[in-house]
A and B are shown apart, each in its own frame.
Chain A
Amino acid sequence: MPVDQSLVGRVFPPTRPYVVSEEKIRTFVESTGGDYAGGPAPATFPIVLAFDAMNAFLEAESIDLFRIVHGEQKFAYERPVVPGDVLTATLTVATLRQIAGNDIIGTTSEITDGSGALVCSTSATLVHRGADG
């Protein structure tokens, strides 16, 4: 079933606060084969927050994660993520198109710190593969 067009412009509730620790950054860095000696998180670390927000959105709309393929991801950083940050992500559905039985869902997520300041804004294009596709 196609995703409901009325979703465009919908802002989903902020995700639960996520406490960034050296251990979480190390786990992330090591999962990509790198070494972590402290300091800022790598550039794609905020996807942890954005993914959390996306999951909540998919669950709310009863969209199966296994039908989702990632089309595009962009990050714009106000500052690096550092240990001690308490972050939340707020997802907005920006665009929605149907192409060849697939839904192409454009989302933006604003990642803010404990003071409410923007740390990173990220946009994602999600391809929802139709059941017949």
Chain B
Amino acid sequence: MTLDTQVFTITRADLVRYAEASGDHNPIHQDESVAVGVGLPGVIAHGMYTMALAARAVSEWFPDSEVVSFGCKFTNPVVVPADGGVELEVVGEVKGTEDGLTTVLLTVTCDGVKVLGMPRAVLREAALRG
């Protein structure tokens, strides 16, 4: 079963807020010169920020479900421009339910490129919104 696709916009201001909230003040998420200096294409979103948005999508689909496990690889950087923002698209597919545990496979893309590798959440007693 395919879930309703969710789209989030990421701006540099979001990264500043997320750095404060998470404690991750790595300058590659704030400072273009540091990011480029270590070989990145520009300021990139925290992998955990992208993952947090993917988790938000899951909790929008299944608002009262307990997450049992959640994981992904960070396969491509989400480059966030100085002006405006970049769109992140989260597609979800329910793979199946076994022993009360529902597996949701995600596809998370930015400009058509997958940014997370094998993002997957397992939920207990998953009930769709509505």
B22 contacts A73, C-beta separation under 8 Å: no
B71 contacts A47, C-beta separation under 8 Å: no
Query: B48 contacts which of A34, A47, A55, A133 (Cβ < 8 Å)?
Result: A47
B39 contacts A70, C-beta separation under 8 Å: no
CB distance from A99 to the nearest CB of B (A): 14
The 10 closest A-B pairs by CB, nearest first: A74-B71, A31-B21, A70-B47, A31-B17, A43-B55, A43-B67, A72-B73, A32-B52, A28-B21, A31-B18
Q: In the complex, which residues of chain B have a beta carbon less than 8 angstroms from the beta carbon of A40? A: 66
Using a CB–CB distance below 8 Å, which chain A residues touch chain B? 27-28, 30-34, 40, 42-44, 47-48, 51-52, 55, 65-77, 79-80, 125, 129, 133
Measured CA separation A44–B74 after assembly (Å): 15
Query: A42 contacts which of B14, B20, B47, B56 (Cβ < 8 Å)?
Result: B56
Q: In the complex, which residues of chain A have a beta carbon less than 8 angstroms from the beta carbon of B17? A: 30-31
Q: Which residue of B lies closest to A79 (CB)?
A: B66
Interface flags, B6-26, vs A, CB<8A=1, else 0: 001000001001101111111
The reply on B38 being an interface residue by CB < 8 A is yes
A51 contacts B52, C-beta separation under 8 Å: no
Q: In the complex, which residues of chain B have a beta carbon less than 8 angstroms from the beta carbon of A30? A: 17, 21
Q: In the complex, which residues of chain B have a beta carbon less than 8 angstroms from the beta carbon of A48? A: 21-23
B24 contacts A133, C-beta separation under 8 Å: no
Since A44-B52, A65-B26, A72-B73 are in contact, a sample of 8 more A-B pairs with Cβ atoms closer than 8 Å, ordered by chain A residue number, is A27-B21, A32-B53, A48-B23, A66-B28, A69-B74, A70-B74, A77-B68, A77-B70
B14 contacts A31, C-beta separation under 8 Å: yes
The reply on B72 being an interface residue by CB < 8 A is yes
Q: In the complex, which residues of chain A have a beta carbon less than 8 angstroms from the beta carbon of B21? A: 27-28, 30-31, 48
Query: A51 contacts which of B20, B22, B27 (Cβ < 8 Å)?
Result: B22
CB distance from A59 to the nearest CB of B (A): 13
Q: In the complex, which residues of chain B have a beta carbon less than 8 angstroms from the beta carbon of A47? A: 22, 24, 48
The reply on B59 being an interface residue by CB < 8 A is yes
A67 contacts B38, C-beta separation under 8 Å: yes
Query: B56 contacts which of A33, A65, A70 (Cβ < 8 Å)?
Result: A33
Query: A66 contacts which of B34, B69, B72 (Cβ < 8 Å)?
Result: B34
Q: In the complex, which residues of chain A have a beta carbon less than 8 angstroms from the beta carbon of B52? A: 32, 42, 44
CB distance from A64 to the nearest CB of B (A): 9
